[in-house]
Structure 1
């Protein structure tokens, strides 16, 4: 068996040598590229892109918050003024709007009318007796100079005249009392307003002074705010108040009066605030209000820049190296989308706004208005070079084998 020997041409030898050199160079270059990329991978990269803003001086309204109850401006108690009469008719109920002088209920008037008629007759009788006594007294006085009557007799006639006149006045007073009692058989509204309570029942016999209705006079309501004694000096009559109830009812009221005394137990005083007549408030409601006390300049930041953690408020201040520092701040009033910062922040600081809720102290950020780092394209092109070299080496190997064959 003969052994076959291959004899390579000079061209094939040159191609094989070139392939070996190209493959080795590609491998060396690829390893060097990976080694060069490893330090860059260890470099810190921005965690989040954020927008920033500086604190601003803003005119913020001064307001004082308080709680209190809604009550009637004045409440009238309407009761029976006649004694021992039976209630025959009740014409209104709770919530009805009434006018001054309107009849609310009526009592039985038959017995009172009979008493009035009797007293009227008694008055006529007394007047007749008084007229007779006056005539007798006149005759006695005319005979005084003649001596027909003694002085004692004349005095008796004069006294009888005065007594009869007194009985007339007594009968007239009794008649007036009975007529007034007849008038009281109709229960009328003392003022215009809204009926807030009713205890009157048809058929009941009630005594004088028994309450039948309660009425909110004029339909006016007021909010009685409880304000601490230290805050009273900031409130003046005429100040505007925004009042809101738990039911959602809301209205703007006006301070009418400040109580002259302070509760010694709570150290709070009542501030009386008039509410508009056409509102959804009801007496007895609990409401919260804000007193408008003017405005003042304050350092504010966007509300989005505040981060609340563990019950405290924080902002993230962006430093020169684009690292954030978490600072605890004390907040105050709010107006629109801005919040007052009372302490913990400098006026010239730059705080993170959009994306602040995802940050932690010391994070590296990229501010939205700064250009992106230019290192990424270079890294991308460098990583593509080893692939190109390897492909070129494989192509040379293919050509070498083709030349051998």
Structure 2
């Protein structure tokens, strides 16, 4: 009986000793939070002002009749795409053709008279060299040649004018683009200067972007601008701010900036355009947005050092979907906790599961 009691007492002592050892082991091992870290990097950031505006054409010529006549044929209508040099309409050119034929006949007649008088003058010149003709006869022939030359020049000018008027019976597009409006129909009689077509060129465009009035001292011509349209938001065009309109809108209290550009392809006047005016560029330390944690002290990040998470209060600046600028409180190259940052406190023990190279 005494032997059994002794064994039971030894067993109880062993159990107590084992439990105390386990308690000591649990106290000595601290729980570590699994986290991922990335290195804070230095990057050039752009301070942008974003605006949605409209596209306009820089060229919208009106094609008018340059000679009077009746419209014979219409070759282009409103909405048609055109190229520079395309025929828009033709006028009946019979009066102009008659004038051309008459002018050509007059040129031929005067050319024949001039040639005949020139031969006579040449013959009298040779006779005068042998003193076989009176000088006044030679002078008369020379004067006649000069008179016919002047008449021929005048007739050639009238021929050019008649040919010009005949060519002007063809209304030609001066630009590539679209027909905005057609104001004449076949059979209409048009006079000189009467507008027949309104065109819109889409080769050169102008983006009009409204910006808040308070930015007028920070915006100036020459700043880079990134433009895109809703149909193709990923196809950005880099341009330069061309000018500022001096007046402030009475209703919107906004200034308008103007950006002129070559049409990149399918942009249409009258459409919407998104513009990002790059006001400045500067180097900054950036981290992932997931690294920022709000605490009673303000916004903080946790820097990973030797298995510990050290809390840093930081001042932030520019934000994007990918990164946040750290204005103060962190240096480039420091390792910052990303995933798991929200579960940490200052000087918490961490276990780094993944380490990236940047924000």
1:291 is aligned to: 277
Q: How big is each residue's C-alpha offset from its partner over 1:125-157, in whole Å with a ceiling of 9 and x where there is no partner?
A: xxxxxxxxxxxxxxxxxxxxxxxxxxxxxxxxx
1:72 is aligned to: 57
For 1:368, what is the secondary structure of its paired residue?
Answer: strand
Q: How big is each residue's C-alpha offset from its partner over 1:18-69, in whole Å with a ceiling of 9 and x where there is no partner?
A: x764454233322443355458768995462224567666543343333321
2:252 to 259, 263, 266: 266
1:235 and 2:213 matched: no
1:343-382 mapped onto 2 (5 Å cutoff): 346-347=329-330, 352-356=336-340, 359=343, 364-368=348-352
CA contact (8 A) 2:209 2:258 kept: yes
Q: CA deviation at 1:305?
A: 1.6
Change (3 A) 1:319 1:252: closer
1:247 is aligned to: 231
2:286 is aligned to: 300
CA contact (8 A) 2:312 2:329 kept: no
Q: CA deviation at 1:216?
A: 0.9
Q: CA deviation at 1:365?
A: 4.3
Which structure carries more helix by proportion?
1
CA RMSD of aligned residues (A): 4.8
Change (3 A) 1:44 1:287: farther
Distance in structure 1 (CA, Å) of the matches to 2:63 and 2:337: 63
For 2:242, what is the secondary structure of its paired residue?
Answer: strand
Q: How big is each residue's C-alpha offset from its partner over 1:349-369, in whole Å with a ceiling of 9 and x where there is no partner?
A: 977423146536679441529
2:172 is aligned to: 188
Distance in structure 1 (CA, Å) of the matches to 2:29 and 2:188: 93
1:197 and 2:180 matched: yes
Distance in structure 1 (CA, Å) of the matches to 2:308 and 2:187: 86
Q: CA deviation at 1:332?
A: 0.9
For 1:27, what is the secondary structure of its paired residue?
Answer: helix
1:29 to 14, 17, 20: 14
Change (3 A) 1:67 1:258: same
Distance in structure 2 (CA, Å) of the matches to 1:307 and 1:107: 77
Distance in structure 1 (CA, Å) of the matches to 2:315 and 2:169: 71
Which structure carries more strand by proportion?
2
Q: CA deviation at 1:340?
A: 0.9
Distance in structure 1 (CA, Å) of the matches to 2:91 and 2:344: 80
Distance in structure 2 (CA, Å) of the matches to 1:307 and 1:202: 72
Distance in structure 2 (CA, Å) of the matches to 1:323 and 1:22: 50
Distance in structure 1 (CA, Å) of the matches to 2:266 and 2:341: 40
2:197 to 212, 217, 224: 212
- The alignment's TM-score, normalised by the length of structure 2, stands at 0.60
Aligned length: 289
Which segments of 5 or more consecutive residues in structure 1 lack a partner in the other structure? Answer: 1-12, 125-175, 370-405
2:70 is aligned to: 85
Distance in structure 2 (CA, Å) of the matches to 1:364 and 1:51: 14
Distance in structure 1 (CA, Å) of the matches to 2:195 and 2:204: 25
For 2:241, what is the secondary structure of its paired residue?
Answer: strand
Q: CA deviation at 1:327?
A: 6.4
CA contact (8 A) 2:242 2:258 kept: yes
Change (3 A) 1:206 1:364: farther
Distance in structure 2 (CA, Å) of the matches to 1:247 and 1:31: 76
CA contact (8 A) 1:48 1:355 kept: no
- The alignment's TM-score, normalised by the length of structure 1, stands at 0.54
Q: How big is each residue's C-alpha offset from its partner over 1:203-236, in whole Å with a ceiling of 9 and x where there is no partner?
A: 463766455231317x111222223333233334
CA contact (8 A) 1:80 1:206 kept: no
